[in-house]
């Protein structure tokens, strides 16, 4: 007999193989909530056979998720729907999938469009600060190396549109220094080309030049070494890649230094991706360019940024209302 918990575990194992660690954690959280919902309806996932699951259990989950945000509801329902599809594909349970789709259509909330917000002026201040900061500590070996790394890392986020985990996974050999490009495996396990600006390339080169002795003594091919390495006591003499958590801490630390601790929460690592998309729209006015360069699968995601780039609308608004006030 396969229990519900065993089936969920098997499903999550397939997710870990096919999806990112972030997605796997979100799905695991979702199905923990699902098992709690089952327990409230007198079904113990640890001991109950998988045959007990039906579309009704999905409807129970929908009711329970009303206390969660629409975005969380969406990802949790996606996880649960994936579980039910897995059960049907593996012939573990007799699920009426058309009815499942109908339940979702009738009862799931439709989240409204959320416009991306970020303080563009503050981001410009952060970029100026990190561009200037390494020169102030040139004689401090480790701190100087860290400052060069952090500058290169943040400029890479701002000028390429890379997500934090994507930037943390980069290897030296991923970069085509002649073309100013890198081929990455991005969201959805899709291969993509990202492009670097001259300022981000120069920052990377200066950082790697300062790191040359460390890389040379690693005994490994340079191409296999991480583009962004740890520079702390825990790393010792080894060249270890930074983690996503370290990448987020780099952004947090440099923002605090540039703007003060009051800025915490106003700018996140993802804010630099918003900055990137908006810069493309303002510079080109071409939604398709922005979609392709940001690697958005759906152009509707990119369209959320258009309100931030339409300076002509801003001018028209002020021409109408401000001139009217001045003439009163």
Per-residue pLDDT of the chain (328 residues; tens, 9 = 90+): 889 999 999 999 999 988 888 888 999 999 999 999 999 999 999 999 998 888 888 889 888 888 777 778 888 888 989 999 998 999 898 888 888 888 877 766 665 555 455 577 888 889 999 888 776 666 667 888 999 999 999 999 989 888 899 999 999 999 999 999 998 887 767 788 888 999 999 999 999 999 999 999 999 999 999 999 999 887 777 899 999 999 999 999 999 998 887 776 778 888 888 888 888 877 777 777 777 777 777 666 666 666 555 555 566 656 655 655 555 5
Options 3.40.50.1220, 1.10.443.10, 3.30.365.10, 2.60.40.420; which CATH number does 120-309 get? 1.10.443.10
CA distances from 149 to 302, 308, 311 (A): 30, 30, 35
Q: Which residues of 113-140 are buried (b: 16+ CB within 10 A; e: fewer)?
A: eeebebeeebbebbbebbeebbeeeeee
Residues of the chain with CATH 1.10.150.130: 4-107
How far is residue 159's CA from residue 131's CA, in Å, rounded to a whole number? Answer: 13
- The stretches of the chain forming alpha helices (DSSP H) are 4-18, 21-40, 55-64, 70-89, 97-107, 120-136, 141-160, 164-168, 198-210, 212-216, 244-259, 271-284, 287-294, 299-303, 306-309, 311-327
Which residues have C-beta within 8 Å of that of residue 211, sequence separation ≥ 6? 145, 229
Query: C-alpha 22: how far from its chain's center?
Result: 9
| C-beta of residue 3 within 8 angstroms of C-beta of residue 11 | no
Under DSSP, is residue 175 helix (H, G, I), strand (E, B) or coil?
strand
Q: What kind of architecture, by CATH, is found in domain 4-107?
A: Orthogonal Bundle (1.10)
How far is residue 150's CA from residue 160's CA, in Å, rounded to a whole number? Answer: 15
Residues of the chain with CATH 1.10.443.10: 120-309
How far is residue 134's CA from residue 139's CA, in Å, rounded to a whole number? Answer: 10
Burial of 94 from C-beta contacts in 10 A (0-12 / 13-18 / 19+)? exposed
């Amino acid at each position: 007999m396969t229990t519900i918990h065993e089936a969920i575990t098997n499903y999550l194992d397939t997710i870990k193989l096919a999806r990112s660690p972030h997605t796997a954690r979100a799905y695991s959280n979702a199905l923990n909530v699902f098992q709690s919902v089952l327990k409230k309806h007198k079904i113990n996932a640890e001991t109950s056979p998988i045959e007990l699951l039906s579309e009704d259990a999905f409807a129970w989950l929908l009711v329970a998720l009303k206390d969660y945000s629409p975005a969380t509801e969406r990802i949790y329902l996606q996880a649960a729907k994936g579980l039910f599809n897995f059960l049907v594909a593996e012939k573990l349970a007799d699920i009426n999938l058309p009815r499942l789709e109908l339940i979702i259509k009738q009862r799931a909330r439709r989240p409204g469009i959320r416009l991306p917000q970020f303080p563009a002026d503050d981001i410009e201040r952060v970029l100026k600060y990190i561009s200037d900061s390494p020169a102030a500590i040139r004689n401090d070996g480790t701190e100087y190396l860290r400052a060069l790394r952090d500058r290169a890392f943040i400029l890479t986020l701002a000028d390429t549109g890379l997500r934090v985990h994507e930037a943390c996974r980069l290897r030296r050999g991923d970069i085509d220094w002649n073309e100013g490009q890198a081929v990455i495996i991005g969201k959805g396990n899709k291969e993509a080309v990202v492009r670097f600006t001259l300022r981000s390339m120069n920052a990377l080169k200066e950082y790697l030049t300062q790191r040359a002795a460390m890389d040379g003594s690693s005994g490994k091919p340079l191409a296999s070494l991480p583009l962004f390495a740890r520079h702390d006591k825990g790393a010792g003499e080894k060249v270890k890649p930074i983690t996503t958590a370290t990448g987020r801490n780099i952004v947090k630390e440099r923002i605090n230094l540039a703007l003060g601790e009051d800025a915490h929460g106003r700018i996140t690592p993802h804010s630099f991706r918003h900055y990137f998309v908006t810069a493309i729209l303002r510079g080109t006015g071409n939604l398709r360019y922005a979609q392709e360069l940001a690697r958005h699968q759906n152009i509707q995601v990119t369209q959320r940024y258009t309100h931030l780039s339409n300076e002509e609308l801003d001018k028209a608004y002020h021409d109408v209302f401000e001139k009217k006030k001045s003439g009163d």
